Amino acid sequence: MAELSDNQNLERGIVVRDLRLAFGDTLVQEALSFAIHPASIFVIMGVSGCGKSTLLRHMIDLARADQGEIVFDGKRLVTGDRAERAALQRRIGVLFQSTALWSSMTVGENVALPMQLHTKMGAGEIADQVAFKLALVGLAGQQSRMPSELSGGMQKRAGLARAIALDPDYLFLDEPSAGLDPITSQRLDALIMRLRDALKLSVIAVTHELPSIFTIADDSIYLDNQSKTAIAHGDPHRLVEHGPDRVRAFLKREPIEAEETESI
Amino acid sequence: MSMLRAGAFDVSERATTSELIAFETESGTPVVQLSGDWGRAIRPPSAAHVADTLDVGGQSRVVVDGAALDNAHPRVAAFVHALGDALTQDNVSLDTRDLPDDISALIALASPTPAAPERPRRPGLLARVGRRAGAQASVARNTANLVGQAMALTPALVSGRAQTRWRDFVELVRETGAASLPVVTVVNILIGAVLGFIGAVQLQTFGAGMYLADLVGIASAREMAAIMTAFIMAGRIGATFAAHLATMESNEEIDALRMIGVSPFEFLALPRLAALSLMMPLLFLYGATLAIAGGMIVAHIVLGTPPVAFVERLQDAMSLSEFVIGFVKSIAFGVLIALTSCYIGLNAGRNAAEVGRAATRTVVVCIIGIISIDAVAALCTNALGI
């Protein structure tokens, strides 16, 4: 990936510039700068506790960074006015780590709610959309099931259907394959790639599952929890051969030197 | 030739709809022509509506033509998919032609909707009554089980051999006891004062203002302080316990306890039972005293009875048995609240709504239970003449 110049602005896509993440006085990550190109899959990787999910929460505006900026399609997320930010948020779909399906609603109602709240679609069209979105993720006809009646993989797919309910341009996935068996996880990866192609989505995924990283990633960033910043950018297939030591060890699932394994 | 029945769309929809969709026939096969910019339509037609109004004319095939679409908006894909589903139910197949590539790719990605599974037949009245009764029987059995467990484990608890953490118990005592003092104080003083006002006005008309102490004292000690304190504790503590245990259940924390060989009842319910049945009578004594004080203040203000006279009258009017009755009832209320909240909490369903429902059910069941126990106690004391 080309280094990012200071004034680079993508017309489409996301630019993160000099972002600093911290909880109070505890620094999580700093000096994060990278760009995400449209219709690509960008993976944020790193060991547990390095701040992957924190970065994701900042990018979807669930948390505010104390320094730096995040720019969507040339518009700054944080300093934009309220209406602009709301419009931007409508173009962002999120699949949460625990799927976060609303447990008191049926699967169909879960997918319908964003459309009911954010669009002027009539009930008939929403029903069509719900049926279609569920069919896209392979849950056709499951509208009236409750989330608790679904298996883990089906819950993830239902969460995905809800995330793409508003035809977003950006899809954020927090540990999409966590807790799934290899087969289900592989199917979910294939689904994510098909959705990217069909819906022209930019997918931003946080994950530490190696098979998943190598399958889906077009581009990636490695967050290091010792130097507290990103130490590698680029296609993981390239990083596994030419990246810094710690990134290669991570991608090859090799042990790192003893002095560095203090935090597990 | 239009395949739409007249008046199929209402006026407000027609303006937008006619630009997006048209119906034709080609050598007998119905053709749905899609056109315009679906992305900007206010209310594009819904598939169910089109499927209902489309006159298939006995054909087994319908064609959707997308040649006139301005762009490839995903809305079109959802519409075509849903139309296909709706027509399949009538055994009509849907073919597409000249759709934008992106739309075709999207539709291809969507899996077909399986036929709706047959709805299980609603069981007959007798079966439903039977099932309900069976469910009630199991609640009764579980309740008996719970009470039995509580009694069987009491010796272990008293002798300190129960599998429970003393730190938890101490914290629970603080939470149920000390932390409840402010609300118990306010409510009981006010209840005593209200009793005082009602009594003062009525007794004054007979010139029997002196006897206000009898009324406030006996009513507070026998009934009001015990009941009001129990209500407060049902709402404050019962609901907390139920919600806490229900959340633990939904997080599999209870299963984790079972797996390390700890009985959830012994570890979680027993300390709560002990804390509540210990603190309730103490809170009652405190509450009853404050209620009487509230009455005394009102007597002084409204009737001008000096506090000393009020207390002297109290000593004559009340016997220790009034307090004993309230005291014993309070213990029963404490046991009731603890067992109810733990039972409901440990048997709650595993989602967010169930946690709230468990809390509410606990409060409702406790209030009914408190009143029932109180009524039975009133009957018994009346029959025994105490």
Query: Does A198 sit within 8 Å of B106, measured CB to CB?
Result: yes
Write down the pLDDT at residue A257.
59
The whole-number average pLDDT for the span A230-235 is: 90
Per-domain residue ranges of chain B: 11-109, 142-384
Interval A77-86 mean pLDDT? 71
B71 shares contact with chain A (CB less than 8 Å): no
pLDDT band at B226 (very low <50, low <70, confident <90, very high): very high
Residue whose C-alpha is closest to residue B229's, from B272, B288, B171, B174: B288
Options 3.40.640.10, 3.90.25.10, 3.40.50.2000, 3.30.750.24; CATH of B11-109: 3.30.750.24
Q: What is the pLDDT of residues B233-253, one digit of tens each?
A: 999 999 999 999 999 988 888
Q: Min CA distance, B352 vs chain A (Å)?
A: 7
User: CATH number for the A9-91+168-254 domain, one of 3.40.50.300, 3.40.50.1970, 3.40.190.10, 2.60.120.1440?
Assistant: 3.40.50.300
Q: Which residues of B touch A104 (CB under 8 A)?
A: 351-353
Confidence of residue A10 (pLDDT cuts 50, 70, 90): low
Please name the amino acid found at residue A71: V
Q: What is the mean pLDDT of residues A185-199?
A: 87
CB-closest option in B42, B78, B112 to A128: B78
Q: Which of B38, B106, B252 to mutate to test the interface with A (most CBs of A within 10 A)?
A: B106
Averaged pLDDT, A161-179 = 89
Q: How far is Cα B91 from Cα B94, in angstroms, rounded to an integer?
A: 10
- Chain B CB contacts of A200 under 8 Å are 102
The backbone torsions φ and ψ at residue A233, rounded to the nearest 5 degrees and listed phi first, read -125, 150
Please tell me the distance from the alpha carbon of residue A25 to that of residue A42, in angstroms, as a whole number. 29
Q: ipTM exceeding 0.90?
A: no
| A259 pLDDT more than 90 | no
Q: What is the pLDDT of residue B35?
A: 86
Q: Do residues A148 and A71 lie in contact, with contact meaning Cβ atoms separated by under 8 Å?
A: no
CB contact under 8 A, A124 and B75: no
A152 touches chain B (CB under 8 A): no
User: Would an 8 Å CB–CB cutoff place A144 in contact with chain B?
Assistant: no
Token reading at B76: 């079109």
Chain A residues within an 8 Å CB radius of B351: 103-104, 147-148
CA distance A222 to chain B (A): 32
pLDDT tens-place string over residues B17-42: 677 888 888 888 888 888 888 877 77
Mean pLDDT of B164-190: 92
| A149 vs B: CB within 8 A | no
Q: Does A194 touch chain B (CB under 8 A)?
A: yes
Q: Which residue has the higher pLDDT, B386 or A58?
A: A58
Strand partners, B84: none
* Per-residue confidence (pLDDT) for residue B14, from 0 to 100: 42
Average pLDDT, chain A: 84
B116 touches chain A (CB under 8 A): yes
pLDDT at B137 over 90: no
Per-residue model confidence (pLDDT) at position B117 = 63
What distance in Å separates the CA atoms of residue B140 and residue B163, rounded to the nearest whole number?
26
Which residues of chain B does A128 touch, with a Cβ-Cβ cutoff of 8 Å?
Answer: 46-48, 78-79, 81-82
Chain A residue numbers touching B105 (CB-CB < 8 A)? 197-198
- Please state the rounded mean pLDDT for residues B314-328: 92
pLDDT at residue B218 greater than cutoff 60:
yes
CA separation for the pair A159, B103 (Å, rounded): 23
A131 contacts chain B (CB < 8 A): yes
* Average pLDDT of the segment spanning A188-207: 88
Size of interface A-B (CB pairs under 8 A): 77
State how far residue B109 is from chain A, nearest Cα, in angstroms.
6
Look at residue A9 and tell me whether its pLDDT is greater than 60: no
Q: Tell me if A148 sits within 8 A of B351, measured CB to CB.
A: yes
Using a CB-CB cut-off of 8 Å, the residues of chain B touching A147 are 351
Residue B261 has pLDDT above 80, yes or no: no
Q: What is the pLDDT of residue A177?
A: 85
Q: Where are the alpha helices (DSSP H) in B71-180?
A: 74-89, 101-109, 125-158, 166-176
User: What kind and span of H or E run contains A76?
Assistant: strand A75-76
Determine which of B81, B103, B250 to mutate to test the interface with A (most A C-beta atoms within 10 Å): B81
Confidence at B4, pLDDT banded by 50, 70, 90? very low
Report yes or no: B327 and B285 within 8 Å, Cβ to Cβ: yes
- Is B353 an 8 Å CB contact of chain A? yes
All residues of chain A having their beta carbon less than 8 Å from the beta carbon of residue B46 are 122-125, 127-128
Give the 3-state secondary structure of residue A74.
coil
Q: Is the pLDDT of residue B3 over 80?
A: no
Q: Cβ of A127 and B102 within 8 Å? A: no
Q: Which of A98, A125, A195 to mutate to test the interface with B (most CBs of B within 10 A)?
A: A125
DSSP string, B199-262: HHHHHHHTT-GGGHHHHHHHHIIIIIHHHHHHHHHIIIIIHHHHHHHHHHHHTTHHHHHHHTT-
A23 touches chain B (CB under 8 A): no
Percent of chain A with pLDDT over 70: 91
Half-sphere exposure of B351 (CA within 13 A, CB side): 12
Q: What is the pLDDT at residue B69? A: 85
Which one has a higher pLDDT value, A176 or B11?
A176
Name residue, tokens 């190109």. Answer: A37
* Cβ <8 Å between B49 and A131: no
Nearest chain B residue to A120 by CA: give it. B42
The confidence band for B174, taking pLDDT boundaries of 50, 70 and 90, is very high
Q: Which of A128, A129, A171 to mutate to test the interface with B (most CBs of B within 10 A)?
A: A128
Q: Please report, for chain A, the start and end positions of each structural domain, with discontinuous segments joined by +.
A: 9-91+168-254, 101-167
In 3-state terms, what secondary structure has residue A13?
coil
Chain A residues with CB-CB distance to B116 below 8 A: 141
Q: Is the pLDDT of residue A167 over 80?
A: yes
Picking from B46, B88, B251 by the largest number of A CB atoms within 10 A of its own CB, the best residue to mutate is B46
Contact yes or no for A135 and B116 at CB 8 A: no
Average pLDDT over residues A31-42: 90
Q: Is A135 within 8 Å of B75 when comparing Cβ atoms?
A: no
pTM of the entire predicted model: 0.69
Any B CB within 8 A of A140 CB: yes
SS3 B383: helix
Residues of A whose CB is below 8 A from B102: 198, 200
pLDDT confidence tier of residue B281, bands split at 50, 70 and 90:
very high
Q: What is the pLDDT of residues A127-161, one digit of tens each?
A: 999 999 999 888 888 889 998 889 888 999 999 99
Distances (CA, A) of A43 to A221, B28, B229: 6, 53, 58
- Give residue B337's pLDDT: 96
**B77 phi and psi, to 5 degrees?**
-60, -45
